[in-house]
Amino acid sequence: MPLFEIETDNHIIISWANDADEASSVVADAYPQESVKRLTKRPRDTWVISKSALGIQSPVDPCSTARDCLSKAEGDKVHAIRLYMHETGVDLEQARKVIESNMVMGW
C-alpha cells in the first residue's frame, strides 16, 4: 500500500492509502473543516524527517535522551520537556521539539 503525504492548512498527514481518493478521505475523517492543499504519493513506503530540519542539533543523542525523559516522566509531556532541558541544557523550544517528535514516533 502506498504512502501519501497530505497537506492541509494546518497539518501534514502521512498515511497509507490505496489511492489518492482514499488518502483525501483521511483528511475528511480526521479534519473535516480542512481541505487538501497538496497530496503527494511518496516514492517509497517510509517517511524520514531530518533532525536538523526540526532544529535538533546536540552532542547527545536526542532520541535516546528524549525517550529516557519520556519514560521517567511516564508520558507526561511537560515533565519530560523539563527533564530534557535539565539533562541537555537546551532551551524550552528545542526541548519541546525533541520531546514532541519522539512522542509522535511512539517512544
Structure confidence by residue, pLDDT tens digits, 58-92: 565 667 888 889 989 987 899 999 999 999 999 99
Say yes or no to pLDDT of 6 above 80.
yes
- β-strand partners of 8: none
Identify whether the C-beta of residue 15 lies closer than 8 Å to the C-beta of residue 30: no
Q: Name the pairing type of β-strands 12-16 and 38-41.
A: unpaired
Query: How far is it, in rounded angstroms, from Cα 69 to Cα 73?
Result: 6
Beta partners for residue 3, in sequence order: 16
Direct distance between the N- and C-terminal alpha carbons of the chain, in angstroms, rounded to an integer: 25
